[in-house]
Chains A and B, each alone.
Chain A
């Protein structure tokens, strides 16, 4: 009873995603923490930036992306920390599957959590500040930006959890590397929200796609070195 290698690869990948989702469905630790944290960040921005209708227009994209980035680190840290804590990661590594399928499994899981948080934060933000965020372009930017963020984030989180200063380290490692994602995502989001012509947005969108591809490829190459004992 042999199955094709591609099928086997996807089977192990989905098994990991499914495991993370099932665990989350039972505990609801991660999503609730990320969500409450995201709302708190927006609340703090509200007071610190004095988000009145005029300034709101210009800073919406920035506020959203900083919120996603902060909430994202929380999720990434947790998602890899639970693997490390009781030696689950070692168990995963013992499984006779391609190592990169473990990486992609964890990354897809993290991406789903990130999307869930974004899917809840966006409507809340729309209601709170009376801005229409249901813009297909904006959604596309959020998808592309989250992919890049999670691709690098999952890799770095698997490094960070194996160090002494684990929780502190992840944002320090991650933020300087995701500067291109955050910058072009903010730029493109602002473009879509203000209805700028596409010629002004393409540059940032292309950059996001290029970043995503490069860093997914690098993560694919390097994950082995990070979990190897």
Chain B
């Protein structure tokens, strides 16, 4: 338990290498977009971090359900890890989006359904962390956390639909988008390669961080147990 497993070490190195390669692809391999210019390059990491952020909130929800069914605290450690990573990646998603929106939409921020939904999602999971902080009993903390994570995940799509009543200007690059969208473009083959490579890279980085974070969670638990033992 104390030494880092070899597979994890390999995964650490792989993530770093992949990130370097992905950065190379984004900055040198992918062609410059004709209308938007270099700022379009933020798109690759923007979508990748958004995807990973969403994936981790989804994992937190599934793990929440599993915890409520099994009452095994190890699932709670996994759920917390997923929420923390989800917050970080969603935040990267929002910040990169802002950087892109400044020159393209001429504003850092607009109250577009997707942007608002992303913000609400961040707030929900920030609330999740605050909820956990206020509870000392680990079993109760895990139970409340699981319930809140599930409630939050269910409400996010409903929020999206309720805000969608307004018009959206966010471009949809994959699939068909709103013709009113500002800053839409068609991907060329090298762009597509870069895009999917960035998705893959971020997914690997996510798995690596997730594994590390869960491991850290286990150590924290162990320390708590040892502390109890010493105090007793």
Contacts and interface: CB of A to CB of B under 8 A. Distances in A.
B124 A176 contact: yes
Contact of B120 (A176, A184, A187, A204): A176
Contacts of A222: 68, 147, 150-151
Given A163-B135, A164-B135, A218-B151, A173 B158 contact: no
B161 interface: yes
B184 interface: no
Given A165-B134, A218-B150, 11 more contacts: A159-B131, A162-B144, A164-B134, A176-B123, A176-B155, A177-B124, A179-B155, A204-B162, A211-B158, A225-B147, A228-B143
A163 B131 contact: yes
A225 B68 contact: yes
Interface string A204-222: 1001001100110010001
Contacts of B154: 214-215, 218
25 contacts: A159-B131, A159-B144, A159-B147, A162-B135, A162-B144, A163-B134, A163-B144, A166-B134, A176-B124, A177-B152, A179-B159, A179-B162, A180-B161, A184-B165, A207-B158, A210-B158, A211-B158, A214-B158, A215-B151, A215-B155, A218-B151, A222-B68, A222-B151, A226-B143, A226-B147
Contacts, number: 86
A169 B143 contact: no
A176 B120 CA distance: 6
A184 B136 contact: no
B148 A173 contact: yes
A interface majority secondary structure: helix
Interface string B125-146: 0010011011110001001101
Interface of B: 68, 120, 123-124, 127, 130-131, 133-136, 140, 143-144, 146-148, 150-152, 154-155, 158-159, 161-163, 165
A203 interface: yes
Given A177-B151, A187-B165, A162 B140 contact: yes
Contacts of B144: 159, 162-163, 226
A169 B130 CA distance: 8
Contacts of B131: 159, 163, 169, 173
